[in-house]
Amino acid sequence: MVVEAQATKRRAISPWVLAGVAGWLALNALALLLSGGVLPFDRPALAGLPFAAQMSFPTVGLAEIFALMGVVFWMTRRRAIPDMAASAPDRARAARETALVIAWALAGQAGGWALGRLLGQRAFSFHLAGTLVGCTIPPTPGEALLWAGYNFTVFALAPYLWFRRRYSPSELNLRSSAWRNDLAIILVIGVIETASELLAFPGIFKLTAHQLALAGPLAFGLFGLGTVLPTMVLIYAILLPRYLRLTGSVPAAVLLGGLSYAAMHLVEGWSNFSSPREAALSLSFVVLTYVGPGMFKSYVTLRTGNAWIHAIAYHAIAPHVVVDAPLVAKVFAIR
């Protein structure tokens, strides 16, 4: 009986969970091996931290993310959890659409990298250079506006218009089925995340009231177009239901959503591609940095069927107003 119980417990652990744990440990080990005790990234906001603190930053963030998942689970324990797989088409069509969207996303990223270089700017990714961690040379206003316009058009508007012809807002996770509960989740997660972001990145307190009044709404709009809406539409409205349909596994969908989110940040403003070692280290840290937040976005969307929740509570305001208003004030010379 004891052996049977232990075997049942082992079978209850998803292989996707085990793969995720193994991948996380492997990436941390690779980063330690490649770094030589130094992380050669352009991240002024973190540059003063000891190496051990910089290495542990993603894991500490992941622990907070699991705590936030627990909060969401508790807050949704009495509601009917939507069958998101039912919102996706049959497996064959879901596979074709998934492949199409991933190919489009890869082409869009390549286009952004090429366009940025062609115009003498940095390669475009899902984050503006300097986002969250600062940068030595801030973007120009033109670079920031072009980044936001490109990302919104390629990764949000075009995919939304294409899929909206065939699928309803509910099938795209863009309509609430329990708005009171959704609003409560937005408020609770928003408050928790804002508090944690302010503790880690208190730069907003250095802004004057005038700067904050201008830079706050501008950050909300700029990052809303450049990363919040592209993230919500491309990954959590379109890809996530198809991941669930294809795998039949919630842990798999959560992990794939996190990996997709990380993949859209491959060329960050802080990355260093000056050598193969630095490139491998940068890519490792991109995954370590972004797969956790991407997993949380997946989880809250799967629990509620509403992609707007993470967009508002865990993206648009915290961190992109709370943390990035000082960057916007600098970019647009708001004094």
pLDDT digits (tens, 9 = 90+) for 245-296: 999 999 999 999 999 999 999 989 999 999 999 999 999 999 999 999 999 9
Q: How many CB atoms lie within 10 A of CB 67?
A: 11
Res 167: pLDDT: 97
Query: Residue 196: inside a domain, yes or no?
Result: yes
**Among 14, 70, 4, residue whose Cα is nearest residue 299:** 70
Query: Residue 16: inside a domain, yes or no?
Result: no
Contact (Cβ atoms closer than 8 angstroms) between residue 289 and residue 58: yes
**Among 89, 132, 122, residue whose Cα is nearest residue 285:** 132
Helix (H, G, I), strand (E, B) or coil at 75: helix
What is the mean pLDDT of the segment spanning 109-120? 90
Contact (Cβ atoms closer than 8 angstroms) between residue 304 and residue 165: no
Res 121: pLDDT: 85
Res 7: pLDDT: 42
In the chain, the number of structural domains is 1
Res 11: pLDDT: 52
What is the mean pLDDT of the segment spanning 130-149? 94
pLDDT digits (tens, 9 = 90+) for 157-188: 999 999 999 999 999 999 999 999 999 999 99
Instruction: Indicate the pTM of the whole model.
Output: 0.94
Domain holding 305, by residue range, is 88-124+136-335
Query: Residue 116: inside a domain, yes or no?
Result: yes
Res 123: pLDDT: 85
H-run or E-run covering 14 = none
What is the mean pLDDT of the segment spanning 147-164? 98
What is the mean pLDDT of the segment spanning 186-210? 96
- Report the sign of the C-alpha dihedral through residues 227, 229, 233, 235, in that order: positive
**Among 307, 264, 242, 261, residue whose Cα is nearest residue 90:** 242
Query: Residue 322: inside a domain, yes or no?
Result: yes
Query: Residue 5: inside a domain, yes or no?
Result: no
pLDDT digits (tens, 9 = 90+) for 3-44: 344 444 445 688 999 999 999 999 999 999 999 999 999 999
Query: Residue 15: inside a domain, yes or no?
Result: no
Contact (Cβ atoms closer than 8 angstroms) between residue 101 and residue 214: no
Retrieve residue 245's tokens: 């349909």
How far apart are alpha carbons 131 and 52 in whole angstroms? 22
Res 116: pLDDT: 86
Query: Residue 161: inside a domain, yes or no?
Result: yes
Res 312: pLDDT: 97
Res 278: pLDDT: 95
